[in-house]
Amino acid sequence: MKVIFIGDIVGSTGRKAIKSSLPRLKSKYNPDMIIANAENSASGRGITRKIANELFEQGVHGITMGNHTWDNREIFEFIDDEARMVRPANFPPDTPGRGYTIIKNGGKQLAIINLQGRTFLPAIDCPFRKVDEILDELKGKTNAILVDFHAEATSEKIAMGWHLEGRASMVVGTHTHVQSNDDTILKGGTAYQTDVGMVGSYEGVLGMQRDAVLYKFQTQLPARFQVCEGKWHFHAVYVDIDDVTGRAKKIEKIRMYEDEWHMD
């Protein structure tokens, strides 16, 4: 199974990059599954039904979220009904939506688990214990398992990678919007990358207009952050998973820039 996971999509600039890049990615990799983190896709804060549908229409099969899940209140109108979207599974009990799902396409199926870290982020349930519970529930259903760990600390992400070694097909980090250079396959057959990166403007700061960010850092005064509309960059990761064992056979990070075809 060929899987492409796309890092945090930030605002209209990120959505523009998705529309421009997906056809080329499909041509190059012929993926069975395309999964994207879209918690920043609506003006950098949350997601709307329209944006979710646009992503699905463009070829995304599943959407993951994170700490900005509830920033756009429209999500409460559709998250319970949208089986292709997951929010962090370790949110409090009875939270709307689902923490994991199984995506099916072309006779193949992939379990998607979304988790949120606790270091430098709000205190919520333990992601390590929660993912163990979910893996127990998934036994016998599918061997192909993707975990999006939306977390701030690199140490917490690396720890999750080792925690899931040999039990998940791929463990990828999101949230920091900076692509890490540690894409690897752990001994147990788990593809791992600390952070996939982001899809949005590289002329801003993490996809937001840089003047406001600089003002806040320099003055320590409140500033309104808005999505930067400068030229985009696109970060993702490609993983080839063995259909029988669920183990990763290949991992390759993807990096593209507007007006330039470039891949690492």
Is-contact 186 165, C-beta < 8 A?
yes
For the chain, first and last CA: distance in Å? 21
The region, left, alpha or beta by phi > 0 then psi within -120 to 50, assigned to residue 233 is beta
Given 68, 150, 175, 235, the catalytic residue: 68
Burial 137-160 (b: 16+ CB within 10 A, else e): ebeeebbbbbbbbbbbbeebbbbb
Q: Where are the alpha helices (DSSP H) in 100-153?
A: 127-138
Residue 135: exposure state from Cβ atoms within 10 A (0-12, 13-18, ≥19): middle
Give the span between the Cα atoms of 132 and 138, in whole angstroms: 10
- Location of structure tokens 């529930």: 137
Cα angle, residue 203 at apex, residues 199 and 205 outer, rounded to 5°: 75
- Mark whether 68 is an active-site residue: yes
- Location of structure tokens 């333990």: 126
List, by residue number, the catalytic residues: 68
